[in-house]
Amino acid sequence: MKTITINGTGKEYRIGKILCIARNYVDHIKELSNETPQAPVIFMKPVTSVIFQGESIVIPPHSNDCHHEAELAVLIGKGGKGIPAGNALEHIAGYGLAIDLTLRDVQTELKKKGLPWDIAKGFDTACPLSGFVTAEAVVDPQDLQIRLAVNGELRQDGHTSLMIHTVAAMISYMSGIFTLEEGDIILTGTPAGVGPVRSGDSIEAEIPGVGQLQINVA
Ligand code: MG
């Protein structure tokens, strides 16, 4: 069991399912030469992939190309099904930072064959999470800077205003398919600048006002 306690509150959330959206920033779609999807592309990570500050990323031996994807993470506080976009932000308990680690070489092979991405996205340690702040602490989830540096070199410097599907639209869409429950987490996609991390690297990622994470690759 893995839990999140929002900073400054005593409330503990047991992490449920982790829903992720792919290809949600135009500049990132271009850098991977992907097509812009008609409908959001959704995948999931298992809760066993979550690690926190102080733990290390372990790249599985079946990959030689593990990429970092810094993302805004949303913690659901109030569940629901078929949530209208207009009410969607009321279902959020807090916000944090996630790194959607992706075995790009494995994913590329799976994509070619039309197979699911689970083993490229859901391995142990594939979902580092920062601490979380309350929803009230974030005035507008579409007005946040996202940065990620590897060994001090800035790799990703994006802004949530560049999302194709907003946080509210994502919650509405996802909750039409999957009942959302307290403790579920949504990873909202990554801006441009993704790239490889290797054993011994140090990753620093930050969403100012939301969360920061310093994590090493074992
Ligand atoms: Mg991602």
Structure confidence by residue, pLDDT tens digits, 73-103: 999 999 999 999 999 999 999 999 999 999 9
Å from CA of 188 to ligand 1 middle: 7
pLDDT at 204 over 90: yes
Å from CA of 159 to ligand 1 middle: 14
What DSSP element (H or E) covers 155? strand 153-159
Q: What is the pLDDT of residue 29?
A: 81
Q: What are the start-end ranges of the H helices in the chain?
A: 26-31, 104-113, 118-121, 167-175
Q: What is the pLDDT of residue 26?
A: 85
User: Is residue 33 very low, low, confident or very high in pLDDT (cuts 50, 70, 90)?
Assistant: confident
Check: CATH 3.90.850.10 for 12-217?
yes
Spatial CA neighbour of 192 closest among 163, 152, 213: 163
N residues, the chain: 218
Å from CA of 77 to ligand 1 middle: 22
Ordered by start, the domain boundaries in the chain are 12-217
Q: What is the pLDDT of residue 161?
A: 96
Q: What is the pLDDT of residue 173?
A: 97
Q: What is the pLDDT of residue 8?
A: 94
- Rounded to the nearest integer, the mean pLDDT of the chain is 96
Strand partners, 5: 12
User: Is residue 39 very low, low, confident or very high in pLDDT (cuts 50, 70, 90)?
Assistant: confident
User: Is residue 200 very low, low, confident or very high in pLDDT (cuts 50, 70, 90)?
Assistant: very high
Å from CA of 6 to ligand 1 middle: 23
Å from CA of 94 to ligand 1 middle: 19
Q: What is the pLDDT of residue 22?
A: 94
Q: What is the SS3 assignment for 213? A: strand
Å from CA of 96 to ligand 1 middle: 15
Does the reported pTM lie above 0.85? yes
User: Is residue 208 very low, low, confident or very high in pLDDT (cuts 50, 70, 90)?
Assistant: very high
Let me know: does 98 contact 73? Beta carbons within 8 Å.
yes
What tokens does 150 get?
A: 């590897």
What tokens does 4 get?
A: 């999140």
Å from CA of 200 to ligand 1 middle: 22
Å from CA of 128 to ligand 1 middle: 12
